[in-house]
Amino acid sequence: MKRNIVLALMSLVVFSTLSSNLAHGQGLGSIAGTITDPTGAAIVAAQITVTQIGTGLAREAATDVGGYYVVPSLHPASYTITIKARGFSDARQNVTLLADQTLTVSLQLKVGSGSEIIQVEGNAPQVDTMTSTIRQVVEQARITELPLNGRNAAQLTLLSPGSVNSPNGGADQGFTKTFPGAVTISANGARQNMVSYQLDGGNYVDEYTNVNQPFPFPDALQEFSVQTSNYTAEYGQNAGAVVNVITKSGINNFHGNAFEFLRNSVFNARNYFALQLSRRMVF
């Protein structure tokens, strides 16, 4: 009996691990670039280590004969990139990887000993030159600081170029009225029910009306990307935009926050015309 319980627990752990890996199959990014020497020649077999700052998890890669490297399937987060090669000083740079981004980090190593570390202070350009996807990332700062009516982060989808509010399409009206918080967004002229929503890699579309399910509250969101055109073949299902919602994940340090949400009509400004009406009644 005890043996069966142990096997059941082990199966549960393995299944949960596989499910977690599969669930994060969407919204991941990549870091790629070219490593060269001071003359511009490619450095072969340079060791690339990409370490997530919050968790300490590291991924490794090596440059090919052209000095090119790529580290795929990275969770959106802040990373430290360390490059080592024989006969050259080590180089280190901190970068921030966004959702669905292929970040280009190309460095030139200096001749020297491996004990010398060159810290690159300049930030890598946040322009995705590796793909033709038209994409906009709504970062955590904008999610938490921009005014939101009802704390509905789905409204920030409109920050993406080509996305407009289209409330008259009927996707959330009549007999198909869905839950509060659903938005009807038209991306590049597509219908309101042709936007694909993903939450940490899983389908997040209300299958009854083909609109979004409620976004997590802003304090639980890390960011989300809105791809409106030329997205890769891994994204299908709809002809409109692809919205990848990324929730916050744990790090090694204990942290948290608190917030208060209050809505009361006593704080509302009095209607101007109501004030005029009261004056007429007095006179």
Residue 138 and residue 116 in one domain: no
Residue 165 and residue 206 in one domain: yes
3-state secondary structure of 25: coil
Residue 66 and residue 115 in one domain: yes
- The whole-angstrom separation of Cα 113 and Cα 136 is 41
pLDDT in tens, 185-217: 888 888 888 899 999 988 998 887 788 888 998
Residue 222 and residue 150 in one domain: yes
Task: Assess if residue 261 is contained within a domain.
Answer: no
- Position 167 scores a pLDDT of 72
Whose tokens are 């020649």? That residue is 41
Given a contact cutoff of 8 angstroms between Cβ atoms, the answer to whether 226 and 157 are in contact is: yes
pTM: 0.75
Q: Is the pLDDT of residue 275 over 80?
A: no
- Tokens linked to 75: 């969770």
- Position 15 scores a pLDDT of 44
Task: Assess if residue 150 is contained within a domain.
Answer: yes
Task: Assess if residue 86 is contained within a domain.
Answer: yes
Given a contact cutoff of 8 angstroms between Cβ atoms, the answer to whether 241 and 185 are in contact is: yes
Residue 106 and residue 166 in one domain: no
Residue 93 and residue 158 in one domain: no
Q: Which residues contact 263 (CB under 8 A, 6 or more apart)?
A: none
Lowest mean pLDDT among 53-67, 145-159, 172-186: 172-186
Q: How confident is the model at residue 225 (pLDDT cuts 50, 70, 90)?
A: very high
Lowest mean pLDDT among 38-42, 54-58, 168-172, 184-188: 168-172
pLDDT in tens, 121-146: 766 555 667 777 888 899 988 998 88
* More confident call, 90 vs 149: 90
Task: Assess if residue 241 is contained within a domain.
Answer: yes
* Residue 24 buriedness (CB in 10 A; 0-12 / 13-18 / 19+): middle
Task: Assess if residue 226 is contained within a domain.
Answer: yes
Residue 97 and residue 189 in one domain: no
- Position 41 scores a pLDDT of 95
* More confident call, 125 vs 258: 258
Percent of the chain clearing pLDDT 70 (strictly above) = 80
- Tokens linked to 189: 């002229």
Task: Assess if residue 71 is contained within a domain.
Answer: yes
Given a contact cutoff of 8 angstroms between Cβ atoms, the answer to whether 140 and 128 are in contact is: no
Q: 36: part of which helix (H) or strand (E)?
A: strand 29-36
Specify the DSSP class assigned to residue 185.
Answer: E
- Tokens linked to 256: 């948290």
Closest of 193, 214, 205, 225 to residue 99, by C-alpha: 225
Residue 138 and residue 176 in one domain: yes
Q: Is the pLDDT of residue 96 over 80?
A: yes
Q: How confident is the model at residue 2 (pLDDT cuts 50, 70, 90)?
A: low
Task: Assess if residue 80 is contained within a domain.
Answer: yes
Given a contact cutoff of 8 angstroms between Cβ atoms, the answer to whether 155 and 224 are in contact is: no
Q: What is the mean pLDDT of the chain?
A: 81
Residue 94 and residue 171 in one domain: no
Percent of the chain clearing pLDDT 90 (strictly above) = 37
- Overall number of domains in the chain: 2
Q: Would you give the distance in Å from CA 121 to the centre of its chain?
A: 24
- Position 21 scores a pLDDT of 42
Given a contact cutoff of 8 angstroms between Cβ atoms, the answer to whether 65 and 82 are in contact is: no
Average pLDDT over residues 57-75: 95
Domain with residue 113: its CATH number is: 2.60.40.10
Average pLDDT over residues 55-62: 95
* More confident call, 115 vs 175: 115
pLDDT in tens, 104-115: 999 999 998 766
Residue 35 and residue 99 in one domain: yes
Domain with residue 149: its CATH number is: 2.170.130.10
Q: Is the pLDDT of residue 232 over 50?
A: yes
Residue 202, φ and ψ in degrees, nearest 5: -100, 155
- Tokens linked to 219: 């304090």
Among 89, 120, 151, give the residue marking a domain's end. Answer: 120
Average pLDDT over residues 158-181: 72
Task: Assess if residue 187 is contained within a domain.
Answer: yes
- Tokens linked to 21: 């890996």
91 is in which domain, residue-wise? 2-120
- Position 181 scores a pLDDT of 74
